[in-house]
Amino acid sequence: MIRKRDGGIRFCIDYRKLNAVTVKDSYPMPLIDDILDVLGNAKLFSTMDIASGYWNVPMDPDSAEKTGFTSKFGLYEWLVMPFGLCNAVPAFERVMKNVLVDLKWRICLVYLDDCVVFSDDFPTHLNRVRQDLERFRAVGFKLKMKKCHWGRDQVAFLGHIVTPTGILPNPEKAKAVMNIERPHDLHTVRAFLGLTSYFRRYILGFAAIAAPFERLKQKTVAFRQLQRALVKPPILVYPNFKKWFKLYVDSSHLAVGACLMQEVDKRDRAIANASKMLVGSQRKWVNKISPHVELW
């Protein structure tokens, strides 16, 4: 049993041995960057959370016996999809895609059990929310109302704050970065980089800042630098494909980086940052790359 953040209980089983011999489902997950970019022209947002998402998916009778577990009360098998199966995530994403097949990317976006409906005006928004709810009702999905928000001009979605003018990291997620202990070994370094990497699109030169972690030297300076970068991150604007883009690139012997920008209200605003740490022979690239800007 695992305690959820909202105080509830999540029932989990250790399926590592079963997962090791399971043929993996390679169904692709949507890219979060693609999801965020679609929200660019929206003014209103509603977020919905499917209650007990996995438990809405029935197990195939031929596979149910593989989910068996024992307790002091006897042997049990799951009739619905449990947490812990390696193919549970792609299976549920496929279900959500089939439920919202003609609505996804057009009036709503979905990532597992999180769904956001977006629109430009209130009447349209009501109609789109109704369409989503009708689909959920048709397949018997229920919503966790405590985690739903309706008709907002700003919502938290997938670890980001989404607004009509741009996106920024969810302050709760940034707070978690600030409160984390300084990494002291390879395991904690990887955990910290995994946490901050989720927000690398906000941090100019992320790879160069994080490079000392890879060498496990000067990691205290890099640790503080990444923490500070998430305290006051820039608000990333949505791309406008009717206007010119500016791509700023830079390099060092450790990393290469880029910042995609557009002019908004007569000043350049960041759309996204990208960076990559150089390893081995890649560090010879630095002689061929120089700081410059491209327009297109």
Summarize the confidence of residues 177-205 as an average pLDDT: 74
Measured between alpha carbons, how far is 278 from 27 in angstroms, rounded to an integer? 30
Summarize the confidence of residues 235-254 as an average pLDDT: 83
Residue 26's identity, in one-letter code, is S
Token digits for 122?
């209130």
The whole-chain average pLDDT of the chain stands at 82
Token digits for 216?
């496990």
Contact 261, 269 (CB under 8 A): yes
Summarize the confidence of residues 97-114 as an average pLDDT: 91
Instruction: Find residue 247's DSSP bridge partners.
Output: 260, 294
Summarize the confidence of residues 57-77 as an average pLDDT: 89
Residue 75's identity, in one-letter code, is L
Contact 237, 262 (CB under 8 A): yes
Give the length of the chain.
Answer: 296
Contact 125, 149 (CB under 8 A): no
- The domain limits of the chain are 2-164, 168-295
Greatest Cα pair distance, the chain, in angstroms, is 69
pLDDT at 225: 65
**b/e sequence 230-265, b meaning 16+ C-beta within 10 Å:** beebeebbbeeeeeeebebbbbbebbbbbbbbbebe
pLDDT digits (tens, 9 = 90+) for 125-148: 999 999 999 999 999 999 989 889
> Which of the pair, 284 or 191, is modelled with greater confidence?
191
Indicate if the pLDDT at residue 285 is higher than 80.
no
> Which of the pair, 84 or 195, is modelled with greater confidence?
84
**Out of 65-69, 218-222, 272-276, least confident range:** 218-222
Indicate if the pLDDT at residue 231 is higher than 70.
no
Token digits for 142?
């229920």
**Could you give the percent of the chain with pLDDT greater than 90?**
30
Indicate if the pLDDT at residue 168 is higher than 70.
yes
pLDDT band, very low/low/confident/very high, at 254 (cuts 50, 70, 90): confident
Measured between alpha carbons, how far is 125 from 131 in angstroms, rounded to an integer? 10
Indicate if the pLDDT at residue 89 is higher than 70.
yes
> Which of the pair, 224 or 104, is modelled with greater confidence?
104
Q: Does domain 2-164 have CATH number 3.40.50.970?
A: no
pLDDT band, very low/low/confident/very high, at 105 (cuts 50, 70, 90): very high
> Which of the pair, 15 or 193, is modelled with greater confidence?
15
Summarize the confidence of residues 8-13 as an average pLDDT: 77
pLDDT at 148: 92
pLDDT at 287: 54
